[in-house]
Structures are given as structure tokens and as C-alpha cells.
Amino acid sequence: MCGRYRLSSAGKVKLAQIFEAEDDLPPEEELAPRYNIAPTQVVAIVRELHGARHLSLLRWGLIPAWATDKAMGNNLINARCETVLEKASFRESFRQRRCLVPADGFYEWKAYGRTKQPYHFGMADAALFAFAGLWDRWRSPQGSWIETFSILTTQANDLLREFHERMPVILARGQYDTWLQTPAEAAKGLTDLMLPWDAASMQAYPVSTLVNRPGNDSPDCAERITLPEQASLGYTLGTPRGEQD
């Protein structure tokens, strides 16, 4: 699954340039570096609106348009790619409202006895990338609109498998248009894009347990640390290797 991620290398101007998107954020709104993004927080995504890409701020945790309570979104931070066309919560969004979720990395945890050690996962060259996402718009009983998103997950690749059976769907840059622009009637064919990312082009390394608390959002959350057992084994995990869930 994907329950925590990072977007710290690009502000709104750079993100808009990288994703060739129009900036929908207020002029005074700047995107501060985020090292520990958690569910229910508002973050930047890229979506297609009226024939153009737009950089927008949405809340993480998809609230379906038909939901009666916004708390439903707390349980819909991820959508399994295998069942996304079957689940009522995601079906229409997958057909008509797909998005890109920019990220520099994400976190998973591994159990060591009674403790869980967090690890950071990202590209071997530390490049910015994008998760495949879905979005929706929900109207509260008071009449206000809330726009939300969810991140697609797929089977874990070789690097992730020892940490979790699932991983977020990562899209190649050449797949962005296909993901955003494919019409609803052809959405079923997008399953070809929802494959595990190549493990050989990724890296993983242990980080501080600071990331365990959503309130912590500093560079220290993403800094590599050395674990005692790593020193004794004589290797570095960070060396590149060849949903609702």
C-alpha cells in the first residue's frame, strides 16, 4: 500500500513546468517541501481539465461523490488496481477522473521483533516521479465542495516484497497523457500501465522513526540512518537493486 510519501524537491513553479501543467493555486500559495505527507492532508496533484493539465491542491483520501460522510475518505487512501473497476467507491473516478500524484519517495515499515523500522523508497537517481491516482468531488451537507484523491496500488516488486505485498503504481513520463486522457469507454485498457515498477531502478534505505508521527515534517524524516544489524552484515540496503488495501 502507500500510506506516507514525500514531495520535497519542487515548488509549484517547478512542478508546473515538469508536468506541463497550468497552476491553479492562488498566487500567494507556495508549496513548502513536504517530507512526511499523511492521509487527510491537502497536497498537490496534476489532472486533466478542459483539455489541459492543471496543478491543483486536493485532500488525500477519496470521498466518493455519493458518500454521506466525509470520514469515508479516511479509509480510501489507496485503490487496488485489480478491483478498481468493480468497487463502487472508485469505479467512476477510474473511468473519468484520473490524476498524477507527484512524489520524491514513499515509506514502508518492516517488523524487527516488537518494533517496526521505517524505510524510504524512491528512484535510484533520486528523480521526481508520479503515482497513478484517482480524484473525485464531494459536496458536504453544508454545501461546500471538497476535492479528494486516492493512489493506485499493485503487486510489490522485488525491492518492496520483503516490506509489503503491495506498492503504489508508478507511471513513466511517456504514460502521463495516456493515463490522463484515455476516455471512459477505453479505461479498462489502462490495466496495462498498472504494473510493478522496475526494482533495479529504485533504492531503499532506513530512516528515523520520526516519520511515524504525521506531525513530524522535516528533512530528518527522509534522511538515511545506519542500523546496527546493517553494520554487522556489511552491506547497505540503499544500493540500487536488479487502495483500498
Q: What is the pLDDT of residues 52-99, one digit of tens each?
A: 999 999 999 999 999 999 999 999 999 999 999 999 999 999 999 999
Domains of the chain with CATH codes: 5-106+126-200 (3.90.1680.10)
pLDDT at 30 over 90: no
pLDDT at 243 over 90: no
- Give the angle 71-7-128 at the CA atoms, nearest 5°: 130
**Taking residues 128-143, what's their average pLDDT?**
95
How far apart CA 155 and CA 168 sit, in angstroms, is: 8
**Taking residues 148-168, what's their average pLDDT?**
96
Active-site position among 2, 81, 99, 221: 2
Which residues are paired to 122 by β-bridges?
Answer: 203
Contact 58, 37 (CB under 8 A): no
Known catalytic residue at 2: yes
Relative to beta strand 145-155, strand 78-80 is: parallel
C-alpha cell at 64: 466518493
pLDDT at 27: 80
**Taking residues 199-226, what's their average pLDDT?**
96
pLDDT at 229: 65
Residues near 200 by Cβ (< 8 Å), separated by ≥ 6? 124, 240, 241, 242
Give the torsion sign (CA, 188, 132, 111, 206): positive
**Taking residues 121-130, what's their average pLDDT?**
97
pLDDT at 158: 96
Residue in the structure block whose three cell numbers are 510489490: 156
Among residues 208, 229, 242, which one has the least CA distance to residue 119?
208
pLDDT at 25: 85
pLDDT at 234: 37
**Taking residues 227-239, what's their average pLDDT?**
49
**Taking residues 194-222, what's their average pLDDT?**
96
Known catalytic residue at 81: no
Q: Give all strands (DSSP E) within 181-236, no chain letters.
A: 202-206
Question: What mean pLDDT, rounded, does the chain reach?
Answer: 91
Residues near 213 by Cβ (< 8 Å), separated by ≥ 6? none
Give the torsion sign (CA, 66, 1, 219, 213): positive
How far apart CA 102 and CA 12 sit, in angstroms, is: 11
Among residues 68, 53, 65, which one has the least CA distance to residue 99?
53
pLDDT at 105 over 60: yes
91 CB burial (10 A radius; 0-12, 13-18, 19+): middle
pLDDT at 112 over 60: yes
Active-site position among 48, 81, 99, 108: 108
How far apart CA 74 and CA 61 sit, in angstroms, is: 5
